[in-house]
Amino acid sequence: MKQFLFLLIIILSVSIVQAQKFDNLALTPPMGWNSWNKFGCDVTEKLVRETADAIVLSGMKDAGYQYVVIDDCWHGTRDAQGFIQPSVEHFPSGMKALGDYIHSKGLKFGIYSDVGAKTCAGRPGSRGYEYQDALVYASWGVDYLKYDWCNSEGINPVGAYTTMRDALYAAKRPVLFSICEWGDNKPWEWAKPVGHMWRTTGDITHCWDCEENHGTWSSFGIMRILDKQKGLRIHAKPGSWNDPDMMEVGNGMTLAEDRAHFSLWAMLSAPLIAGNDVRKMSRETREILTNKGIIAINQDSLGIQAFPAISENGLEVWAKPLANGSWAICFLNRSGESKTLNFDWKENFIKDDFAGRQFNAKKDSYKVRDLWLKKDLGTTDVSLKAVIPSHDVIVLRLEMQGK
């Protein structure tokens, strides 16, 4: 059997024509969970099964979360024919059985590899084994591949990621391809036909506005990641998403910061990939991650990314055009003190040349709904008066009267 598969790999690798990424995937930003932010290399079959259970029981599945993604360190060794095996110690039942369990919950199965000979944690990467690995993933029932950029010295990113894209396509099982190239080579300029999402920055960490220096690389807090998205919105569209990294909601920031973090990722049309321990999360964390009004902004069919329309003294107003003439407006308080808001809608004209949309409350009246308070606030005919605590947000959905 293994010899047959090896011959099939050779045939596929020399006969592929018109390979492409799989269509009709990620038409809205992907939603799911990834093991890395909370667990790193401490990932096991038991953890993943319990996480799948928790995603269902917590209401996350009903809210739209689909993918259960095992990040680095699941790997064992390659066998004599070069086929990758999972760690026997950590995944004793094997990946096919684990994938079947995830699918039995109505969820999708995600896995991780790397363009280099080794992953970031030193496990076997996919360099030189792309077609073999793609066939193995298909046999396991994998639906999502996160493909990292460690140990990539001398590798051309376009070639490396295109090779894995072609391998996945040749294996004939639709796989959402997540390009984790850290934005080093501006993937937003070349990755649309290659993957369904691409990292725009280095790794995130669970702080508001910091940089953690690790020597040869850094991880960044929420505001640092946010600022690195400048100018990228023109590249996002259904099936092709800017990825500012997995979320840190529930991993140690304040509730206000978690709320702001989740809101901003929704406004950015970013993939909503939870990175916390969903088995043990607090009620408050669960309510943040399952806020259907905020999620609806993220999953809007237009797929247009928000932009900062107004910025003054630590207070920013982010605007996101939505379907049916609606808008999402996020008031972000980046500062260390509360801000008093008296916002006259009619005096704040917002124009989005990229989307060909404008918000003009002098011309049109909109119904206003607060998505965190879950209450209607009247219309844009009346000024918005509120106090925004430090590191917090107000997120509103504006729907044109009569729509």
Q: Which residues carry out catalysis?
A: 148, 203
Which amino acid would we find at residue 85?
Q
Please name every residue paired with 307 in a beta bridge, in sequence order, or none if there are none: 319
- The tokens describing 180, both together, are 């984790």
Measured between alpha carbons, how far is 72 from 55 in angstroms, rounded to an integer? 21
Q: How far apart are CA 132 and CA 85, in angstroms?
A: 11
| Residue 95: φ, ψ to 5° | -75, -30
Burial (CB count <10 Å: 0-12, 13-18, 19+), residue 175: buried
Cα–Cα distance for residue pair 311/324, rounded to 1 Å = 27
291 in Cβ contact with 262 (< 8 Å): yes
Nearest CA among 235, 144, 145 for reference residue 183? 235
Q: Which residues contact 402 (CB under 8 A, 6 or more apart)?
A: none
What Å distances lie between residue 125 and 77, 164, 175, CA to CA? 10, 12, 18
Contact (CB, 8 A) for 291 and 259: no
Q: How many CB atoms lie within 10 A of CB 349?
A: 13
**Integer Cα distance of 9 and 3 in angstroms:** 10
* Rounded Cα gap, residues 47 and 83, in angstroms: 25
Q: Which of 163, 159, 230, 165 is nearest to 200 (CA)?
A: 230
Instruction: State phi, psi for 377 to the nearest 5 degrees.
Output: -115, 20
Alpha helix segments (H runs only) across 271-312? 283-289, 292-298
- How many angstroms separate the CA atoms of 66 and 178, rounded? 15
90: closest CA among 126, 121, 130? 121
Task: Enter the DSSP assignment of 306.
Answer: P
Give every CB contact of residue 42 below 8 A, 6+ residues apart in sequence: none
